[in-house]
Amino acid sequence: MMSAKYLAQGDLSAWLGALAQGRRVLVPVRENGAVVFRPYGPGVAPVLSRQADSPPKESVFPSTERLMEFSYSKDPENLGKVALDIKETVNAPATVVFGGRPCDARGFTVFDRVYDTKAIRDPYYAERRASTLFVTLACDAPETTCFCNSVGSSPVDADGSDVLLTPVEGGWLVEAVSERGKALLDAPALKDAPASAQEQAKAAQEAAVAAMPPAWDAAPAAAKLIEKFDDMGFWDNVSAKCISCGACTYLCPTCYCFTVTDERSGMKGERIRTWDTCMSFQFTLEASGHNPRPTKAYRLKNRVGHKFSYYPDIHKGPIACCGCGRCIKLCPVSVDIREIVRLAMELPTATAGKP
Partner 1 sequence: MTTMMNPYLPEIATVLEVIQETPNIKTFRVVLNNKDRMAKFKYEPGQVGQLSVFGVGEATFVINSPPTRMEYLQFSVMLTGEVTSMLHTLSPGDQVGVRAPLGNWFPYESMKGKNVVFIGGGIGMAPLRTLLLFMLDNRKDYKNISLLYGARSPEDMAFKYDLPDWSSRKDMTTVLTIDREAPGWEHKVGLIPNVLLEMNPSPKKTVAITCGPPIMIKFTLQALKKLGFEDDQIVTTLEKRMKCGVGICGRCNIGTKYVCMDGPVFTYAQLKELPNEL
Ligand X SMILES: Cc1cc2nc3c(=O)[nH]c(=O)nc-3n(C[C@H](O)[C@H](O)[C@H](O)COP(=O)(O)OP(=O)(O)OC[C@H]3O[C@@H](n4cnc5c(N)ncnc54)[C@H](O)[C@@H]3O)c2cc1C
Per CB under 8 A, does 122 bind partner 1? yes
Q: How far is the C-alpha of 310 from the C-alpha of 291, rounded, in Å?
A: 20
Per CB under 6 A, does 342 bind ligand SF4? no
Q: How far is the C-alpha of 20 from the C-alpha of 269, rounded, in Å?
A: 33
221 interface partner picked from ligand X, ligand SF4, partner 1, none, CB below 5 to 8 A per type: none
Q: Phi and psi dihedrals of 10, rounded to 5?
A: -70, -15
**Stretch 309-328 residues interacting with ligand SF4 (CB under 6 A):** 321-327
CB atoms < 10 A from the CB of 111, how many? 22
Nearest to residue 156, comparing CAs of 147, 168, 165?
165
Which residue, 290 or 354, has its beta carbon nearer to partner 1?
290
DSSP reduced 3-state for 87: strand
**Stretch 46-75 residues interacting with partner 1 (CB under 8 A):** 67-68, 70, 72
User: Are 324 and 104 spatial neighbours (Cβ–Cβ below 8 Å)?
Assistant: yes
- Identity at 210, one-letter amino acid code: A
Binder among 188, 287, 348, 350 for ligand X (CB under 6 A): 287
Nearest to residue 221, comparing CAs of 213, 231, 229, 211?
229
Helix or strand holding residue 237 (H, E): helix 232-239
Per CB under 6 A, does 253 bind ligand SF4? yes
Size of the residue set binding ligand X (CB under 6 A): 3
Per CB under 6 A, does 283 bind ligand X? no
User: Are 52 and 36 spatial neighbours (Cβ–Cβ below 8 Å)?
Assistant: yes
Which residue, 5 or 303, has its beta carbon nearer to ligand SF4?
303
Q: How far is the C-alpha of 260 from the C-alpha of 273, rounded, in Å?
A: 4
Binder among 33, 80, 214, 355 for partner 1 (CB under 8 A): 80
Angle between helix 296-305 and 232-239 (nearest 10): 90
Binder among 219, 285, 330, 352 for ligand X (CB under 6 A): 285
243 interface partner picked from partner 1, ligand X, ligand SF4, none, CB below 5 to 8 A per type: ligand SF4
Contact residues for ligand X, defined by CB under 6 A = 285-287
- Give contact residues for ligand SF4 (rule: CB under 6 A): 242-248, 251-254, 279, 307, 321-327, 331-333, 335, 337
Catalog residues that contact partner 1 under the rule CB under 8 A.
67-68, 70, 72, 80-86, 88, 90, 114-115, 120-123, 226, 229-230, 256-264, 269, 271, 276, 278, 283-288, 290, 292-293, 298, 302, 305-306, 309-310, 313-314
